[in-house]
Structure 1
């Protein structure tokens, strides 16, 4: 329920935030949440901490099930890596040639380059989540040995990084928090899977209370997402304030868990969750493409600018805007959801070194596309090639013949699908 809710809220936020206008061949962008007290919405709508928390619980459950089946850590990671990276392949297959085609057809260059860059920026989540998944086996062992002390240590590291960042004035000094903060939230998911995450209302009060103190008395901005023109962002790189809000969100979710679970058991809601569970990655990867389609027709083609956020025109037009985006998203979901699950493959039979190389290749490819998007050039091609090469390494060892693989005793692993996770 939390994973579906989190992804739906990400899409809703991305579709609702843009303030767009087009003139003289250039598209200008703003953020509706930068208006008035819109920052308050981000304390709930910035749900990436919840997504990493739910992902941590799912990784713990999946890894322990694999151990019971007798699967090795490299084999488990190979399955997770295929599941994570495979849906990116059709995205790259469409977006690598698309900017060239649009420019050839006479589309203005600046909007095309802007869309090409933004289409890849979404992949930051997969790049960082890949790190969390790859570190799951050792982090699970640390969780069993030290429990709460692991996320507490990661949070302490985040405090030190923020101190260095704000005393030095260098945003680059905050980059280690990309790993420390998201790993800390992922680690809380392990504690939840163990049944060791209690007193949710205290957790919620402590998290939100600390966040309020940090933005009131510290150097942290009010918004939990980056705002245009802001000198500091709580998101890029993440800060202790974002981690505190994440802890508050987790406490709130756990405090409401009984009602959430009861609601999820309603037949209609259960069917919706079953349908959405196998389409979450498609929705995440392609929802910005749906936005670009509507923007190209309405803002660029017809010259209709976004009304001033908060006005009656903006409020009355918002449902129509979302309806157009949903209609644009629907054929993408129908056509591309088949890529949610990777093609069936024999179990991975290679060693740890090979799967580490595969993980590094996929990670570097995702980081390249995150930084540069699909802007025409050599780098996006190399990034996509690295992802494909990494995926190729997750297959069975070439040194093992099909006949010998068929004779290997032991249970067959279940396909790595969201329903199993």
Structure 2
């Protein structure tokens, strides 16, 4: 891995300062594939007032698809590169860490507020209208579970400045140490039987992948095909030796999940995915240069956060009509009925997603405000409140009760602390490119 990580890789094409169209494309592709997977894998049926859920990827050897379709590692990798570019750009402009953290916090949390505003009262309204309670609770929980990513990513943003300093000093040794820590955690988890130990890998695994994004931003990731072979080869060996399951997402009834908490098997797949993406970088950049693809990415970029946050709501809406209302169950996964019905299912979900995008895309970008002028202590409190709110909503969802109200209130309080009173009219700032919007914009 030393040879793989330390050899510089020359950029395939020159990019404007502070921009990398490969990273733009990678994060959009990653989020699109997350949505496609979430929409494609549910196996649903409704009887006796209860909805039953399964996973189509648990059928036969379909789990192997997750070695490509579980793209959260690529999203964290792209996020690491984006955060490195953004932080260094802020430093060049004379920015301070509190102001940079405040801006990143606003971009991550602001789009969540309308989700909370809709879903906190919605379960109460639906049950009052006579909708069976169990499907409502299931949908309410799933709508909040998506926020795990924002909670972990926010933590990665917080530690970006010090981790970048470590990257400058120690380079590839930083992800190597994080990987070694993840190995120790897995050994302790599986030898002691204490599952709670494994949750330490939420930090170690995702920070290791995030750190690889720093190395990419420095041009220090080379030999991508070797990286892909090493990563996927290690993953195959770990799965063959056990106790790691083959699927890189949690499966119903599985004793072990590679995702929650993440394992070194998932980290190995992450290395393989990143290597494969880097090996294809030249072709990806060329594809992005096509006018049609460029226009599609420019259209999609300022909408991807909305799609990510609301795509499970679209799934809940279509399920409520088709499965609960009409009593149509999902056909046997992989059968002819399933394959022929899958495009129609996706079409209904896309149609349900469009009005949600029209309503909520406007919340992708927070309102303009004077630069944050508070101290680090205040922004630390804001980050703690926002992160805690995201964790509450991840763990509980929007299930009726006090917890969702508390979580939403913590988000709102954390966000409020990032605004400073305007002492004077802020200087005009250049409008960002469309590709700079979205989940991890560089500006």
- TM class, shorter-length: over 0.9
Partner residue in 1 for 2:98: 74
Q: Distance in 2 between matches of 1:112 and 1:9?
A: 26
Deviation (angstroms), 1:402: 1.5
Q: Distance in 2 between matches of 1:338 and 1:285?
A: 13
Deviation (angstroms), 1:412: 5.9
Query: In the alignment, which of 215, 228, 246 is matched to residue 204 of structure 1?
Result: 228
Moved over 3 A (4+): 410-421
Q: Distance in 2 between matches of 1:224 and 1:150?
A: 24
Partner residue in 1 for 2:364: 340
Query: In the alignment, which of 406, 423, 426 is matched to residue 402 of structure 1?
Result: 423
Q: Distance in 2 between matches of 1:100 and 1:36?
A: 39
TM-score (norm 1): 0.96
Query: In the alignment, which of 385, 391, 395 is matched to residue 367 of structure 1?
Result: 391
Deviation (angstroms), 1:218: 2.3
Mapping for residues 123-138 of structure 1, pairs under 5 Å: 123-138=147-162
1:13 aligns with 2:34: no
Secondary structure of the 1:55 match is helix
Q: Deviations over 1:166-199 (max 9, x none)?
A: 0011211100000110000000000000000111
Q: Which stretches in structure 1 are left out of the alignment for 5+ residues?
A: none
Partner residue in 2 for 1:36: 60
Partner residue in 2 for 1:143: 167
Q: How many residues align?
A: 414
Query: In the alignment, which of 95, 111, 116 is matched to residue 87 of structure 1?
Result: 111
Q: Which stretches in structure 2 are left out of the alignment for 5+ residues?
A: 1-24
Q: Distance in 2 between matches of 1:384 and 1:38?
A: 37
Q: Distance in 2 between matches of 1:201 and 1:420?
A: 28
Q: Distance in 2 between matches of 1:272 and 1:138?
A: 36
Mapping for residues 282-321 of structure 1, pairs under 5 Å: 282-321=306-345
Q: Distance in 2 between matches of 1:316 and 1:348?
A: 53
Q: Distance in 2 between matches of 1:353 and 1:414?
A: 30
CA contact under 8 A between 2:82 and 2:442: conserved in structure 1? Answer: no
TM-score (norm 2): 0.92
Give RMSD over aligned pairs: 1.4
Query: In the alignment, which of 186, 202, 215 is matched to residue 191 of structure 1?
Result: 215
Q: Distance in 2 between matches of 1:215 and 1:106?
A: 46
Deviation (angstroms), 1:156: 0.4
Q: Distance in 2 between matches of 1:148 and 1:413?
A: 35
Q: Distance in 2 between matches of 1:154 and 1:355?
A: 27
CA contact under 8 A between 1:70 and 1:411: conserved in structure 2? Answer: no
Mapping for residues 173-188 of structure 1, pairs under 5 Å: 173-188=197-212
CA contact under 8 A between 1:177 and 1:237: conserved in structure 2? Answer: yes
